[in-house]
Homo-oligomer: A and B are copies of this chain.
Amino acid sequence: MSKLLELDDVTDPACCAPLSGPTLGEEEAAELAGVFKALSDPVRLRLLNMIASAEGAEACVCDLTGSFELTAPTISHHLKVLRQAGLIDGERRGTWVYYRVVPERLTRLAGLFALPALTSA
């Protein structure tokens, strides 16, 4: 998933261009499409919401499974998709894995939808 992680390079001036800005290249469009595909599932959106809003900015996988009528392997699959898209990161500590959002990735997406010129129109 090294290609996706390239998006995290916020020092790259092309990195955080809005959709209303410069032309989106084919390669970046393909990478972003992959991130949106990861986001195109209600369970994954709710998991991301739970992780992003967790106290201490991290969530134990043990606290994520209870909110869904889904098996632990299914939740793990969804978390893996979010992780492969670079949206979350996980760290094993003892028995459990703890997840955090990757702020650079979410900030990049926020920047993508920023429309300064249009929203003031």
Chain A residues engaging chain B, CB cutoff 8 angstroms = 18-24, 26, 29-30, 32-34, 36-37, 39-46, 48-50, 52-53, 57, 101, 103, 106-107, 109-115, 117-119, 121
Number of identical monomers bound together in the oligomeric complex: 2
Q: 12 A-B residue contacts at CB 8 Å? A: A19-B45, A19-B53, A20-B53, A26-B42, A33-B40, A36-B40, A40-B40, A57-B117, A57-B121, A106-B118, A109-B113, A110-B111
For residue A115, which residues in chain B have a CB less than 8 angstroms away from its CB? 52, 101, 103, 106-107, 110
Q: Is chain A's binding surface mostly helix, strand, loop or mixed? A: helix
Q: Please name 5 further chain A to chain B contacts, defined as beta carbons within 8 Å, in addition to the given A19-B101, A20-B49, A52-B115, sorted by A numbering.
A: A19-B48, A22-B53, A29-B46, A39-B40, A109-B109
